[in-house]
Amino acid sequence: MSTVSRREKEKQQRRNDIIEAAEELFDAKGFESTTIEEIARKTELSKGTIYLYFQSKDELLLEVCAKGIMGFRQDLEAAANSKRSIDNKIKAVCAAYIDYFIKVPHIFRVLHDTLTERLRNNLSGETMSLINWTIVEVLKFSSAIVQQGIDSGKFRSDIDPYSFSIAVWQMSSGLLDLAILKDPGIIDRDSLEEILSKSIDIMIDGLKAGAPGESRGR
């Protein structure tokens, strides 16, 4: 049994190695421009072996995306569940999002590419479902927080929390996108956090403006 399980582990390990190699290459060169040959070389396996673990190049992309999304949700929940003021919760969620992907820009870019319609054609609906489902989960999370703010009277009530979450998400993603360009011509990685945090501040202030419970002069 020990033998079997070692084998099993090795297999898992190899699977992971391949996914990681693919991750980096898809990011660096794009999905289309990455060849199986390159993935094989990077993992020091043969081309044939790749096909022992994955049925096709497309399936590899699916796995890369899936893996990228998994870990991310945990960070997000942790940030949202920490006991803080609502303001801070929102900021924490954004920060978690940014922090996660700034560490693995590859994954961010691959996911972003995948979400983009162009790739959708090449992919099984399975991948898309997984990605979409996760996105929606995250948005529900954020919406709930905003709703709390509204319920408590801290935030104005004339907004749709879900829509607001989408807007913040897109702003964050967009800024992240710019920051992780290899040759950042527009904003650099360092100013990203500042711009983002400032922007979130502004949006939160905007949320408070006109709130029923807004305390004068504050």
Residues that bind DNA (CB under 7 A): 3, 7, 10-11, 14, 33-37, 44-49, 51-53, 55-58
What are the backbone dihedrals phi and psi of residue 177, each rounded to the nearest 5 degrees, phi first? Answer: -55, -50
Q: Whole-number minimum distance, CB 85 to its own copies, in Å?
A: 17
37 binds, among its own copies, DNA, none (CB under 5 to 8 A by kind): DNA
123 binds its own copies (CB under 8 A): no
Specify the residue for token string 């560490």.
103
Q: With respect to its own copies, which residue has the nearer C-beta, 82 or 118?
A: 118
If one asks whether residue 218 binds its own copies (CB under 8 A), the answer comes out as yes
Q: How far is the CB of 77 from its own copies (least distance, A)?
A: 20
Three-state SS sequence of 29-68: HCCCCCCHHHHHHHHCCCHHHHHHHCCCHHHHHHHHHHHH
Segments in the chain forming alpha helices (H): 2-29, 36-43, 47-53, 57-81, 86-103, 105-115, 117-120, 125-151, 161-179, 189-208
SS3 label, residue 156: coil
List CB contacts of 174: < 8 A, sequence separation 6 or more. Answer: none
Which does residue 164 bind out of its own copies, DNA, none, counting CB within 5 to 8 angstroms by kind? its own copies
| Residues 90-119 as x/- pattern, contact with its own copies by CB under 8 A | -------------------x--xx--xxxx
Give the separation between CA 109 and CA 2, rounded to whole angstroms.
39
Query: Of 211, 137, 204, whose CA–CA distance to 164 is shortest?
Result: 204
- Is residue 159 a contact point for its own copies (CB under 8 A)? yes
Which option in DNA, its own copies, none does residue 174 bind, with CB closer than 5 to 8 A by kind? its own copies
Which residues in this chain contact its own copies in the complex, by CB under 8 A? Answer: 27-30, 32-33, 109, 112-113, 116-122, 128, 132, 135-136, 139, 159-160, 163-164, 166-171, 173-175, 177-178, 181-183, 185-187, 191, 194-196, 198-199, 201-210, 216-218
